[in-house]
Structure 1
Amino acid sequence: MISLGTAVLSWLLPGRWGIRGISIITLLYLAWMAPVSLVLLIFTAVAGYFILHTGGRIPLNVRLICCLFLYTGILLHFKIQVAFASAGTGFLVPLGLSYYLFKQIHYAFEVYKKKLMRHSAEEYFIYLFFLPVLLVGPINRFPDFLKDLRRRRWNGPLASYGLQRCLFGYAKIVIVANYIFSYKIQQLTENKIIAADGWLANYLSVIRFPMNAYFQFAGYSDIAIGLSAIMGFRIMENFRNPFMATNLNEFWRRYHISLSSWCRDYVFTPVASYTRNVYMGVIVSMLVLSLWHEISLNYFIWGMVQAAGIMLSSRLMRFKSPFNPGRGFVIFEKGFKMFLVFHFFALSCILIKPQSWQSIMHQFRLLFNF
């Protein structure tokens, strides 16, 4: 409701104050809900901009390194504290920290590569203090945001599209994620007939976790994209039917796109270029992607499983059948590949479910009749 009210206010305020109003409401919202996060966002935004743009004779690559140390140091500090805090402390990462620090890392790299249009500090701060994508993404890019900021005009069809995306997002969260996967599937697993079949109950529990997480996150992304459209901004997609992918490479081009493309541009490409080893780029990228969610052994192993799957998938894609299969076989093959990709991802998510290692091994034993 706050974001929707912000969207309306952004068009009611005169001139440039419309977009400034979004930043002011974002600031007030953080001051009320997460003052620590607000202090960190202001500090990193001011410090980073100052280092990158007023460094004088200091080489740009040194300034980039300073910014990276600042951003990653803060992120690791809080992530590690969460990882080692006892369950009773309730210690959490400041609201939106991972998202706005990754946006600042993106900005620092683009300044270093000298690919940005001339812009003011105010435009950069408006980019960071943009409420719809601040808390759950997507991790939108500054050049696209700057273009929309400068040509922002009321656009009826875009606003209508934004309302539609918000509706789809709420439907995904309330109906599909909360009702179907959180409530109905849970009821099914507790049904006497299904519960008596340990394998089926376990299988439903396995697919319930990634599907619920996907529809929750995809729904929030739809709402963020929709609210941004109502405000006159086109934000990048975060999901494009990932479970229709026929290999893991394609899956990660469709799933959490803003994060996976960020890892491709700022982790995979530099690492693969420096080491001249594509596989090393994949491993480090998936390591960053997994530990971005949580610094833990479970997520580390999950990330390495994803990297192994991507590398194996890349190998298998090189093999082509010497035969000329008919259309029916091609459709069956595509469906079978989608089945494999979905179940590879779903099974890997057993590793990151909030449960003990004994429970994890028990689930695998039930599924594969160990």
Structure 2
Amino acid sequence: MIQTSNFWLLLFSTVLIYWFLPLKFRAGFLALASYAYLASIEPVAVTVLIAWILVFFYVTPHAMTEKQPTRLIVPALILAILGYLFYYKYFPILVGLFPTLEFLKSPIVPLGISYFTFKLIHYAVEVVRGNITDRSLSRFFCYIFLYPIFTAGPIERFDHFLANREDSWQRQSMVEGATRIVYGLIKLFVIGKLFIAQLLQPWVTGGSVLTPLDLISHLTSLQTHEVWGYLALTFLYAYIEFSAYSDIAIGASRLYGFRIMENFNFPILASNIGEFWKRWHMTLVGWIQRYIYLPTIGLTRSPYAAVYSTFLTMGLWHGATSNWILWGAYHATGVSIFLTWGRIKRSRGWHTVLGNSWKYVGVPFTFAFVTGSYAFSATSGYGGWTGLRVFAKLLGYNLGLNPLH
């Protein structure tokens, strides 16, 4: 979205109008401007979202009574919006398995569906918990539709959105927002697209810019270190690109006086996989920890069940493919091993012996472990067996073609 001229035209034309308007009209104006921009990209799905917003806004408060029937309101709303997400994002996978269902398939996935689904679920749950009491429809519309963060996050919390907004123009906020946007553009175009993609990758992979298809097609002939290099750069590029989009989204929102939640905190410097997941896509991790991890651990009393449910959910959030399921299982296994190691260290007192000086040794190992997960995510369009083949190549093995074919 940020690579279109309309995004920048909207940003620079509405910021001035926004601050000249009386306070009571600003949220409604920004919501309307965001809707108009998003509707110009995908009018039907974005308009349907209005219905979802109205349903969640007006129906959710009725679940706060103690009557048994009303306690089913929020679960029903959550199942409904998850069904909407499933139909567009995951049902096409089933259609591929059962061609007779082809007539039910929708050709277009609604814009930003994963992000607004999680935001609506967050709103419903927190209203019932009593953590959200604001009943302004214009602010709720603004929260859901806010165009800088609509498609790529961060996954803002409504309570944070309300508590971290400014009611008057602040010069410092303008400077911070503009600086953050410039920072994001430099990361995206100079570091990401120019340095990593065009200069560094050919040097690492033997003189050519590889695509995932090139990697798969020449997998047996590539050297192990070349595959490691390709996936490491894929990881780096994904981080630079995604964090750059977050920078621009946070900076653009800052121009309107909103201090949006941070999404990255230099995850490539993490010294262990646990710390990595406290630094990477922090708003998604925070959402899943709040609504998947904690309920699961409360239900099962097993941190390992909670970890696996967390990462499988995270994998499915990215895509309903065997690659993303393997990706989730890979990270869940890594975090589970890390948790077990932590328990062993504490029980034997090794954490006091090893101290903090050893944590920096873990940085390259953590980087390598995360790089390994890109064997699955970088090949997400080519099937889980292909991901396993690439991962085996990282270990120096050549697996054959899918034995099922």
TM-score by length of 1: 0.90
Letter in 1 for 2:241: Q
Which of residues 19, 28, 52 is equivalent to 2:27? 19
Asked if structure 2 preserves the Cα contact closer than 8 Å seen for 1:30 and 1:38, the reply is yes
CA RMSD of aligned residues (A): 2.6
Which of residues 60, 63, 75 is equivalent to 2:73? 63
Using the TM superposition, name which of 56-65 and 267-276 deviates more: 56-65
> Is 2:157 the counterpart of 1:132?
no
Letter in 2 for 1:343: A
d(CA) in 1 for partners of 2:340 and 2:114?
Answer: 33
Which of residues 136, 147, 150 is equivalent to 1:120? 136
Asked if structure 1 preserves the Cα contact closer than 8 Å seen for 2:28 and 2:141, the reply is no
The CA deviation at 1:162 is 1.1
**Correspondence for 2:194:** 179
**Correspondence for 1:80:** 90
Which of residues 2, 17, 21 is equivalent to 1:9? 17
**Correspondence for 1:232:** 257
Which of residues 43, 46, 54 is equivalent to 1:35? 43
> Is 2:196 the counterpart of 1:169?
no
Cα deviation, 1:48-97, whole Å, max 9, x if unaligned, reads 122212468665531111111111111111111343567xx994421111
Asked if structure 2 preserves the Cα contact closer than 8 Å seen for 1:162 and 1:230, the reply is yes
d(CA) in 2 for partners of 1:298 and 1:197?
Answer: 21
> Is 2:323 the counterpart of 1:308?
no
Letter in 1 for 2:131: K
The CA deviation at 1:362 is 4.5
d(CA) in 1 for partners of 2:94 and 2:257?
Answer: 42
Which of residues 122, 136, 139 is equivalent to 1:106? 122
Which of residues 348, 364, 367 is equivalent to 2:391? 364
Letter in 1 for 2:246: S
d(CA) in 2 for partners of 1:90 and 1:40?
Answer: 15
The CA deviation at 1:358 is 6.0
The CA deviation at 1:313 is 0.6
The CA deviation at 1:206 is 1.3
**Judging changes above 3 Å, is the alpha-carbon distance between structure 1 residues 213 and 72 closer, same or farther for their aligned structure 2 residues?**
same
Aligned residues: 362
Which of residues 231, 235, 240 is equivalent to 1:215? 240
**Judging changes above 3 Å, is the alpha-carbon distance between structure 1 residues 347 and 121 closer, same or farther for their aligned structure 2 residues?**
same
Which of residues 157, 162, 187 is equivalent to 1:141? 157
Cα deviation, 1:260-305, whole Å, max 9, x if unaligned, reads 0000001111111112222111111111111001011110111011
Cα deviation, 1:160-192, whole Å, max 9, x if unaligned, reads 111111111111111121112222233222428
Asked if structure 2 preserves the Cα contact closer than 8 Å seen for 1:252 and 1:260, the reply is yes
Which of residues 354, 362, 376 is equivalent to 1:337? 362
The CA deviation at 1:367 is 2.9
Percentage identity across paired residues of the two chains? 28
Which of residues 130, 139, 159 is equivalent to 2:174? 159
d(CA) in 2 for partners of 1:7 and 1:238?
Answer: 23
d(CA) in 2 for partners of 1:365 and 1:291?
Answer: 23
The CA deviation at 1:324 is 4.4
Using the TM superposition, name which of 241-250 and 297-306 deviates more: 241-250
Asked if structure 2 preserves the Cα contact closer than 8 Å seen for 1:30 and 1:37, the reply is no
Using the TM superposition, name which of 317-326 and 263-272 deviates more: 317-326
Using the TM superposition, name which of 309-318 and 99-108 deviates more: 309-318
SS at match of 1:16: helix
Structure 1 residues not aligned, in runs of 5+: none
Which of residues 367, 374, 380 is equivalent to 1:349? 374
Letter in 2 for 1:275: T
d(CA) in 2 for partners of 1:345 and 1:293?
Answer: 16
The CA deviation at 1:16 is 2.7
Which of residues 276, 288, 294 is equivalent to 1:263? 288
Using the TM superposition, name which of 345-354 and 261-270 deviates more: 345-354
**Correspondence for 2:101:** none
Using the TM superposition, name which of 358-367 and 113-122 deviates more: 358-367
Structure 2 residues not aligned, in runs of 5+: 1-7, 97-104, 209-217, 398-405
**Correspondence for 1:294:** 319
SS at match of 2:135: coil
d(CA) in 2 for partners of 1:242 and 1:114?
Answer: 33
The CA deviation at 1:8 is 3.1
**Judging changes above 3 Å, is the alpha-carbon distance between structure 1 residues 369 and 123 closer, same or farther for their aligned structure 2 residues?**
closer
**Judging changes above 3 Å, is the alpha-carbon distance between structure 1 residues 283 and 161 closer, same or farther for their aligned structure 2 residues?**
same
d(CA) in 2 for partners of 1:322 and 1:204?
Answer: 33
d(CA) in 1 for partners of 2:302 and 2:80?
Answer: 28
